């Protein structure tokens, strides 16, 4: 275990006192994604405040003792999002990530700002590996400050619920040149955010710190097993659902002109992102996670970035209004009437795939529920804690 008792006591004392400062030390080694401006040729995406929206940020300890939790998060993040989207409010969901370690490690924090591109969230999670640490307290001060200040939250709104989960097993390190944890929590609450704290393991100094963070953050404190407590239940429907998700992805129809950040057209970049995500997930994701992803692709009205079919379905774009040069090459070659017929054909194909996913997911839900009743403690892990907090906090925000 990475405990050094004297340092832990000092860290806890400093946490309670709440000493803070603003000078910089070691920082994130990866750049934070800037907000991407919409150019005249770029397809418009639904603004996060157009309907009820959940903005959800996970601040995750990625030191050496957290391997089990990270694997559990990879297995269950789609399921957590699906439960939210299945509610009567059917809100949009944007997710951000902050991975953290300590000052002498490979990195202090890595930030993925809030995005509706859940494939990008998942593939980022897939890259997280437990490592570093070695002592006990970690740089929770910097991690929480980045979660509040660098995650790209939208302006406070009655239609946007902003919820953060701090997840780790060690208390804050007593770095005097970092913002005090409780100062950051106070700032978060003043901006309308809710801060929850999930403790992995049973260390007393972490429990005291995490409970105070959750109390001041107007959120919930949870204690789960060191390994995250996630117990996925495989089903006989997972493989077929995974196959259907890949088929659904193959209907992705990128569009948009103008030069993207990489110098090619937006549609070329959207196509490349989609292909990379499908390949990465098919090659490395747990089968049950891929099945949950299939369900998400049905529930999520913003399932794909830069997708013409999605934009037409959502009513944000009329096919007749899209410039010919902004369409994929195969559609550019067709007459306007033939183009409409082809898009209608692709939408019908997409609906057929979705209908099969919906039918199979119901049978899968029944199977998993039955198996869960046979497995005591199956609802005591990371995913159950997050789902419990979200249900309560979204209800308070007026989400049904």
**Alpha-carbon distances of 197 from 14, 162, 209, 222, 359, rounded to whole Å:** 18, 15, 9, 6, 36
Buried b (16+ CB within 10 A) or exposed e, 332-356: eeeeeeebeeebeebbeebeebbeb
pTM of the model as a whole: 0.85
**Residue 377 pLDDT class (50, 70, 90 cuts):** low
List, edge to edge, every strand of the sheet that includes 92-100.
109-115, 92-100, 53-61, 160-168, 193-200, 218-224
The burial of 292, by beta-carbon neighbours within 10 Å (0-12 exposed, 13-18 middle, 19 or more buried), is given as: buried
Least confident of 191-200, 227-236, 358-367: 227-236
- Greater confidence, 22 or 123? 123
Q: Output phi, psi for 96, to 5 deg.
A: -130, 160
Res 6: pLDDT: 37
Angle formed by the axes of helices 287-299 and 336-373, to 10°? 130
Q: What pLDDT score was predicted for residue 30?
A: 33
pLDDT digit string (tens) for 324-342?
Answer: 999 999 999 999 999 999 9
Phi-psi region of 228 (alpha: psi -120 to 50; beta: other; left: phi over 0): left
Read off the pLDDT of each residue in 18-33 and give the average, rounded to a whole number. Answer: 32
For Cα atoms 149, 154, 160, give the angle at the middle one, nearest 5 degrees: 120
Mean pLDDT of 9-22: 40
pLDDT of 77 strictly over 70 = yes
pLDDT-derived band at 20, boundaries 50, 70, 90: very low
Res. 151: pLDDT tops 80: yes
pLDDT greater than 50 at residue 41: no
Q: Is the per-residue pLDDT at 253 higher than 60?
A: yes
CA distance 271 to 276: 9
* Residue 353 confidence (pLDDT): 98
Distance CA 245, CA 249 (A): 6
pLDDT of residue 47: 44
> Residue 125 burial (CB < 10 Å; 0-12/13-18/19+)?
buried
Q: What's CA 18's distance to the chain center, in Å?
A: 29
Task: Give residue 207's Cα distance to chain centre.
Answer: 25
């Amino acid at each position: 275990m990475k405990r050094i008792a004297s340092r832990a006591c000092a860290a806890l004392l400093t946490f309670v006192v709440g000493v803070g400062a603003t000078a910089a030390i070691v920082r994130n080694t990866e750049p934070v994604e800037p907000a991407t401006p919409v150019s005249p040729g770029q397809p418009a995406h639904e603004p996060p405040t157009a309907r009820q929206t959940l903005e959800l940020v996970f601040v995750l300890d990625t030191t050496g003792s957290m391997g089990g939790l990270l694997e559990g998060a990879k297995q269950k993040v789609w399921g957590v999002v699906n439960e939210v989207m299945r509610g009567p409010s059917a809100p949009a969901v944007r997710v951000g990530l902050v991975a953290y370690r300590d000052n002498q490690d490979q990195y202090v924090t890595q930030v993925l700002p809030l995005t509706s591109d859940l494939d990008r969230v998942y593939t980022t999670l897939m890259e997280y590996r437990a490592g570093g640490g070695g002592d006990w307290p970690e740089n929770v001060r910097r991690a929480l400050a980045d979660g509040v200040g660098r995650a790209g939250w939208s302006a406070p709104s009655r239609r946007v619920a902003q919820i953060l989960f701090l997840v780790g097993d060690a208390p804050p390190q007593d770095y005097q040149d970092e913002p005090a944890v409780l100062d950051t929590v106070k700032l978060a609450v003043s901006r309308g955010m809710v801060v929850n704290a999930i403790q992995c393991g049973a260390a007393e100094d972490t429990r005291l710190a995490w409970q105070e963070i959750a109390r001041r953050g107007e959120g919930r404190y949870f204690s789960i097993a060191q390994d995250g407590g996630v117990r996925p239940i495989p089903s006989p429907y997972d493989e077929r659902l995974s196959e259907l998700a890949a088929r659904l992805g193959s209907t992705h129809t990128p569009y948009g002109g103008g030069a993207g950040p990489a110098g090619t057209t937006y549609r070329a970049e959207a196509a490349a992102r989609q292909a990379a995500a499908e390949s990465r997930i098919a090659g490395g994701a747990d089968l049950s996670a891929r099945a949950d992803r299939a369900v998400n692709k049905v529930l999520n009205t913003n399932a794909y970035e830069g997708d013409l079919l999605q934009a037409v379905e959502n009513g944000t774009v009329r096919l007749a209004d899209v410039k010919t040069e902004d369409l994929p090459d195969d559609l550019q070659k067709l007459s306007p009437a033939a183009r409409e017929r082809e898009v209608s054909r692709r939408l019908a194909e997409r609906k057929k795939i979705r209908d099969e996913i919906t039918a199979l997911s119901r049978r899968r839900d029944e199977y998993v529920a039955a198996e869960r009743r046979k497995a005591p403690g199956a609802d005591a892990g990371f995913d159950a804690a997050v789902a419990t907090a979200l249900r309560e906090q979204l209800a308070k925000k007026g989400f049904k």
